[in-house]
Structure 1
Amino acid sequence: MKLVKSLLLGSAAGLAAVAGAQAADLPVKKAAPVEYVRVCSTYGAGFFYIPGTETCLRVGGRVRADYIYVEPEGPLGRVDDSIGFRTRGRIQLDARTATAYGLLRTFVRFEITRDTGAFNGVPGVVNTNPNVDQAFVQFGGLTAGRALTFFDNGDIDAQTMQGVRWSDQPNVNLLAYTFSFGNGFSASLSLEEGRYSGRAGLAGDVVGEGAGLIAGQRSPDVVANIRYAGTWGSAQLSGALHQLRAMPRVAVIGGVPGVVLDDTNYGFAVTGQFNFNLPMLGAGDNLWLAATYADGALGYLGFGGGNPIEALYDVNGDIETTKGWQVAGGIRHYWTPEIRQNVFASYAKVEYGSNAIAAPSDFNEWQVGTNILWSPVSGLTLGAEVQYINRDFDTAGVDNDDFWTARLRVQRDF
């Protein structure tokens, strides 16, 4: 047995030696290097390098749930929904690359909103709305795509749920360039899609002459601003030029036949918007103010959906623009690092021309509200808001609007 055991062990040792020699003669393939995701701290928290590139990417999003109660208006209020439910989901990507020509940035934000009840304004209707909220490219001073209008001061974060009457930072399709002068000063010139509150007065009846047509858009809204930003906050002065066009028509006006109606006019808007940090009151405290005057461009006051009408024909067949102005503001105070309160208000005035045909009533509107927001953990916000809205019409027999709303919100940002 000892002899057999010795022969087996010797054979195994010989085979192992031969195999080792052959393995030593084979080419050795190196393992592929493992590329780990690296944190990119250049642009703030949440960015990481896309493997194999020098591009930093941040993936974020939001889920928001809102619940609203709107006080019914008058005896016909039974027709309208008083409660409403809204759920909104958001996904966004922010990619940034440092180049020899400056920062190259691409940003895209998708939102899907599902509204029912009072959020729709039409009883029994469920509205699901997919939306490209923002999608733009920035390269140096160039901005192209869908982004915050350059009419507004992007530093203002009103943190209202319902919103008060002001331009309210809408996102629009645009092509813009920003000139930076240093020391916090800059100026921008932007070509933007038209912002409309309604031009029905240019397409409706003119003394029984029948309906006309709104003419096609020939010029974008031209927006320009000058801005200063410092440690105390920021200030921005902006202006916008807005084209009004209708199909040319011939009408009977004042008993005179063959009057050619004006088919092109221009409106404008100017605004001053200010954002102030208030560290003397508390960390994170803030005050904002916005004042705007518009002539034939009431969309820049925060109105939309065809009410009010931004221009009407007058008794001479000319386009007569509607004028209006607004002032809005709010203050934010942190009672604790987790609990903050916003108080906000706005006042707006709209006046139709004295010679405008079939003009609606002039009116003024004021809104006031407050909310309490609690963030028990980072990224989570629980809040409640109440708001009062009053609209007074100058024409006798036209009922004034006077109602309040209440809203609850649960929101998670990541």
Structure 2
Amino acid sequence: MNIKSLLIGSAAALAAVSGAQAADAIVAAEPEPMEYVRVCDAFGTGFFYIPGTETCLKIGGYVRFQTDFGRDQFGNSDWNTWTRAHLAVEAKSDTELGTLTSVIAINGESGNGAYTYNFEDDGFEGLGSGSTSSFYIDEAYIELGGFRAGTFLNWWDNDMIGETETASNVTRFTSVRYVYDGGTFRAGLSIDEMPDYADWAGPGVGSGVDGIHNDVGFSGMVAATLGGVNFELLGAYDNAAEEGAVRAWLSAEVGPGTFELMGLYASGANAYYSKSEWSVAADYSFKATDKLSITPGAQYFGDYRLVNGNDAWRVGLTVDYQVVENLAVKATVNYTDQDVGKDEVTGFLRLQRSF
């Protein structure tokens, strides 16, 4: 046997062995391509596509630490400290009827002692002591093409830049509303549920078994933006109390800051506004530095707390400081002088991390 024959025989033997091993080999399946989260820029910053869908999602919120102060405002104490965790999830998608939106916003609050706000006395009432915590729905609603249904804050909840004025009650209702938004001009109408209205309506209103029941309220909004000037007019009628309120607000860019002027009138105690029969408020917010904003404000009340002849005035100062991106400090102090009752100094110091 020569060398050529030996090489050919060896090659044939190796081919046979390789073929036998190949027949017995297990072939691993190719991994499926991973779908990474995609940025959704159709509805603004912060949105991303839910993998496998055309729905855009945005997750945000804040953590707030705050100390409120005011003489005899918190039971036997002049101050109270509490913490809030706010989590908001917003989903949006395009449809043939417009943008479909859903929002879920949850608040969790924890503090020392339990207090409830008393509108008649313009302060907090102590209900207990010790550590307390609560979770509640801040907003939860569905919106399509200008129509919105769910639980959410009314237009009356939009306050001025500073923290001096009182421009509404807490107006979180379960409502159905429609808003026309033409950019420069906006208008809307809302039907709001009025539950257990006797809790805020004052002495003699809603007393008795037949007094505490659900009813409805109606609120409307007309607003316009022209250049650097914004105008908004609100009207509301509380069918349970058979009283109503109106509010006009003007905002304009003046010099290095923003000037705001607001006027209010209430025919009587109602769910939208019950602080006074009428009131005028103004503030001016300007940036002292890139991180520091200062807002002095003032408000005058006619028949404060709906007591005839009890006029009052309030002055205050709000300071906002941006420590770093998404971390801010807010401090406010207000002095209220009234014809009937004691004068008051109130305010708060807040630290908030937003995301």
TM-score range, shorter chain: 0.7 to 0.9
Matches within 5 A, 1:7-406: 14-20=16-22, 29-72=29-72, 80-116=76-112, 121-122=125-126, 124=129, 126-151=131-156, 154=158, 158-160=161-163, 164-167=165-168, 170-180=171-181, 182=182, 184-194=184-194, 196=197, 197-202=200-205, 212-217=208-213, 219-244=215-240, 266-278=242-254, 280-281=255-256, 285-301=257-273, 303=275, 324-350=277-303, 362-393=309-340, 400-406=341-347
Q: Any gaps of 5 or more consecutive residues in structure 1?
A: 1-5, 205-211, 246-265, 304-322, 354-359, 394-399
Contact 1:70/1:118, CA 8 A, preserved across alignment: no
Matched with 1:260 is none
Worse-superposed segment, 9-18 or 327-336: 9-18
Q: CA RMSD in A?
A: 3.3
Q: What is the rounded CA distance, in whole Å, between the counterparts of 2:304 and 2:346 in structure 1? A: 26
Q: What is the rounded CA distance, in whole Å, between the counterparts of 1:275 and 1:226 in structure 2? A: 14
After superposing on structure 2, the runs of 4+ consecutive aligned residues of structure 1 that deviate more than 6 Å are: 6-10
> What is the CA-CA distance between 1:188 and the residue it aligns to?
1.1
Worse-superposed segment, 344-353 or 87-96: 344-353
Matched residue SS, 1:202: coil
Q: What is the rounded CA distance, in whole Å, between the counterparts of 1:35 and 1:95 in structure 2? A: 19
> What is the CA-CA distance between 1:183 and the residue it aligns to?
5.1
Matched with 2:348 is 407
Letter in 2 for 1:333: F
Letter in 1 for 2:300: Y
The 1:388–1:151 alpha-carbon spacing in structure 2 relative to 1, beyond 3 Å, is: closer
Write 1 or 2 for the structure with the bigger share of strand.
2
Letter in 2 for 1:408: L
Q: TM-score, normalised by structure 1?
A: 0.71
Q: TM-score, normalised by structure 2?
A: 0.82
CA shift digits 1:114-151 (9 cap, x unpaired): 23369654273544221211111110010111122144
> What is the CA-CA distance between 1:274 and the residue it aligns to?
2.4
Matched residue SS, 2:323: coil
Contact 1:165/1:326, CA 8 A, preserved across alignment: no
> What is the CA-CA distance between 1:194 and the residue it aligns to?
2.6
Contact 2:176/2:190, CA 8 A, preserved across alignment: yes
Q: Identity percentage over the alignment?
A: 26
The 1:183–1:107 alpha-carbon spacing in structure 2 relative to 1, beyond 3 Å, is: closer
Q: What is the rounded CA distance, in whole Å, between the counterparts of 2:304 and 2:203 in structure 1? A: 16
Q: What is the rounded CA distance, in whole Å, between the counterparts of 1:404 and 1:8 in structure 2? A: 102
> What is the CA-CA distance between 1:192 and the residue it aligns to?
0.8
Q: Any gaps of 5 or more consecutive residues in structure 2?
A: 1-6, 116-123
Contact 1:82/1:117, CA 8 A, preserved across alignment: no
